[in-house]
Amino acid sequence: MSFPGSLAQAVKHQKRPPAIVLCTALTGLATVRALASQGVQVHALVFDKKDPLRLSRHPHAIHLLPEGLSDTALVQFILNYAKRLAQRPVLMATSDRQVMALAQHAQALSEAVHWWQTDLPTLSTILEKNRLYLHADGLGLPTIPSTPCTDLPTVSAWCARFPGPYLLKPSYVGCADAKLTEKNKVFANSTSLLAFLSATGSQAVLVQQLMAGGDGEIFDTYGFCDAKGQIVCLSTHRRLRQLPPDLGSTTYGEIPARLGQAEGLILGQARVLLQSLHYHGIFGIEWLRDRATNRFYLIDFNARPFSSIGHLRDCGVNLPWLAYQELVGERAVGLPLVPALQHRYWIDLFRDSQSLQCPRTIKSSSAPSRWQTLKQASSFAYWEWLDPGPAMLKTATLLWSKALRSKGLLQRLL
């Protein structure tokens, strides 16, 4: 009885434009899976020859690009590739650097692909942390004390007002001008911070006072804004463990965040921020909760899909598909602003094992034990029953790497 409808749906999917996804690690894999699950033909551009995506059954095509490819060369490759496709494709980027690179070539890309139309000045306000914090301060949203590293005397004077420890951050992850390649680097005091800046330079970095929070007290608001800048949907996420511990990306988390009455507060702050911008696309806004005051401090804004986007899909909201529909004029109707989600715990088994073995930088709230974690998790970073290849390749790669390290240690001992 259902066959005619299923056939009609399959035909409709075949007529839809394909998608080009610029893949960055786990985020790329999750975005490809989310689109392919709805019948979209996905062309994956990867930058790492070891990317587990290459054993996924979902992409229609996978192309390996050089890791050091310039932004101009990347855009030209996309333009040439899009012209070879039968229909104008949808384009999705999965890293901050990719988003900024594409925005700088907006006019040329708009003629060849469907993509999010947030202008470069708005993206700079969102992605460059100093500009984001200044903008948030103007809206009355809580931000952690910070300062751009313009010169050593200015940073030294700021440190005299705000005692350590400190976090040093690039303007945004992947910023080409920043000497710092890590997302966060911790310094116990101003002496060590200033010594590092003196040795490496202070271009395109920002220093921030390290506020107690860490694993279990970092939250995200996830969602999508349409071409008019209107919020289509919002949801919450809690980072129960991260790598690096307390300061990195999620290795074990939950959706929704189960914040109780505080959920209205964090969602309200996200709405204030988004309504002050004309943003178009998927977003993930990061907040730190001060347990003493229950205030949520703005940390970061991801203007793209994020590593937990597959987790959100497992809970009931497929953001890449929602964004795709809007870009091709098939916007979904009837979706509540804050959808009711199935509560699930998510885990990246490989990185969470590393996180558990690392010392904690901050005294964090309690988190489940390893056994509790495995028992609770029902959403997984790499494993998917209908697409086991990426998890199998990831496992084999790690085992081989461990074997090589063990062999090298044995040779040194002998």
Q: What is the DSSP letter of 259?
A: -
With bands split at pLDDT 50, 70 and 90, how would you rate the model's confidence at 405? low
Which residue intervals of 117-183 are DSSP H helices?
A: 120-127, 129-139, 152-161
Q: Check: CB of residue 127 under 8 Å from CB of residue 277.
A: no
Determine if the peptide bond prior to 245 is cis (ω within 30°): no
In this prediction, residue 287 carries a pLDDT of 97
Asked if residue 212 has pLDDT above 50, the reply is: yes
C-alpha distance from residue 322 to each of 68, 313, 327, 330 (Å): 32, 11, 9, 9
Asked if residue 74 has pLDDT above 50, the reply is: yes
Convert the pLDDT of each residue in 327-369 to its tens digit.
999 877 778 999 999 999 999 999 998 888 887 766 655 566 7
In this prediction, residue 356 carries a pLDDT of 84
C-alpha distance from residue 327 to each of 65, 85, 117, 290 (Å): 26, 17, 10, 38
Nearest CA among 152, 156, 150, 186 for reference residue 169: 186
The SS3 of residue 267 is helix
- Kindly provide the b/e burial profile for residues 316-344, where b requires at least 16 CB atoms within 10 angstroms of the residue's own CB: ebbbbbbbbbbbbeeeeeeeeebeeeeeb
Convert the pLDDT of each residue in 245-262 to its tens digit.
888 899 999 999 999 999
- Give the Cα separation of 303 and 88 in Å (integer): 23
Mean pLDDT across 204-225: 93
Mean pLDDT across 232-257: 94
Convert the pLDDT of each residue in 364-394 to its tens digit.
555 667 788 889 999 999 999 999 999 999 9
Report percent pLDDT > 70 for the chain: 91
Convert the pLDDT of each residue in 304-327 to its tens digit.
999 999 999 999 999 999 999 999
In this prediction, residue 1 carries a pLDDT of 29
- Give the Cα separation of 17 and 316 in Å (integer): 24
What predicted TM-score, i.e. pTM, was given to this entire model? 0.91
Asked if residue 30 has pLDDT above 50, the reply is: yes
- Give the Cα separation of 74 and 95 in Å (integer): 13
- The dihedrals phi and psi of 280, each to the nearest 5 degrees, come to -125, 120
